[in-house]
Amino acid sequence: MELIDGKKVAEEIKKEIARQTAEIIDSEKPAPHLAAILVGNDPASESYVASKEKACRAVGFTSSVYRLPENVTEQQLLETVDFLNNDDEVHGFLVQLPLPPHIDPNRVIERINPAKDVDGFHPVNVGRLALGLPSLVPATPAGIMLLLEKYGIETEGKHCVVLGRSNIVGAPVSVLMSRKANPGNCTVTICHSKTENIAEITRQADILIAAIGQPEFVTGDMVKNGVVVIDVGINRVEDSSEKGYRMTGDVDFKTVSPKASYITPVPGGVGPMTIVSLLLNILKAYRGEVK
């Protein structure tokens, strides 16, 4: 079994991004600039946005956060989106999700200029991805593809089983894995909460991507020998440690890893690649590589 070290791969890519950013700044051009819109005070969202800002600063990007109160109206949020769409000094931006229940996230996402949509959530980017055209790809699926590529994992003709059909991970990673490309060219099965006999399907997987947000859902008896396991889960489970909790994936590492040929740990697998893929999207948007 080989551990897929996302932290190490992410550090290497961040160094390269920092090198390219230094070149940009040396040539007296403005640094790539990410803005994040944060609505309310959800602790998880606060922490995600703080990590994104920190990662931007570490590679030399500019970052700014637009904080709006929990009770902001949808109209006011849309006006902030318009402001950032029109701000030439901001090359890419995102609206941290989830939004309060009185705001329709789809209406907000549709308002973002697709060329600045570094989350890759706008229907234009989703559509371009589905058509195999250049696009801003959501960060977690893009990070997974980078890991498969860096580790030289053979995907062509393999059966890839994806657990989860979210717009952020399951749906886009299914498209990428089935695309005529390398990595890609897989036969893809998507499983979700209504799938019957899920273990029968996961046992057929050559590559298993777990993105359902259920701690240790995939157990050793659900996989075959030699499977490649990509664990997207980041779940907090209570335990008797000093902190009172530990982080775990959607995969039961103890029983699955002995059967796997490759597996991502949690933490240190997919997580660090997500941030790095966001940075790569900011560079793409900066360079106008996606129209």
By the criterion CB under 6 A, which residues form the site for ligand GUN?
A: 94-97, 119, 139, 168
> Closest distance between ligand GUN and the C-beta of residue 265, in Å?
20
C-beta separation of 52 from 278 below 8 A: yes
> Closest distance between ligand GUN and the C-beta of residue 30, in Å?
23
> Closest distance between ligand GUN and the C-beta of residue 272, in Å?
14
Q: Could you give the CA distance from residue 196 to residue 175 in angstroms, rounded to a whole number? A: 22
Q: Could you give the CA distance from residue 187 to residue 182 in angstroms, rounded to a whole number? A: 13
Query: What is the number of the residue whose Cβ is closest to ligand GUN?
Result: 97
> Closest distance between ligand GUN and the C-beta of residue 139, in Å?
6
DSSP 54: H
C-beta separation of 54 from 111 below 8 A: no
Phi (first) and psi of residue 25, to 5 degrees: -65, -40
> Closest distance between ligand GUN and the C-beta of residue 203, in Å?
30
Token pair recorded at residue 57: 């600063």
Token pair recorded at residue 38: 């944060």
Of 37 and 188, CB closest to ligand GUN: 37
Q: Checking phi first, is residue 185 left (phi over 0); if not, alpha (psi -120 to 50) or beta?
A: left
Of 84 and 95, CB closest to ligand GUN: 95
Q: Could you give the CA distance from residue 115 to residue 248 in angstroms, rounded to a whole number? A: 35
Q: Rg of the Cα trace of the chain?
A: 19
Q: Could you give the CA distance from residue 98 to residue 114 in angstroms, rounded to a whole number? A: 20
Token pair recorded at residue 145: 């593809």
- Which residues are known catalytic residues? 52, 96, 119
Of 119 and 206, CB closest to ligand GUN: 119
Of 119 and 252, CB closest to ligand GUN: 119
Of 37 and 162, CB closest to ligand GUN: 37
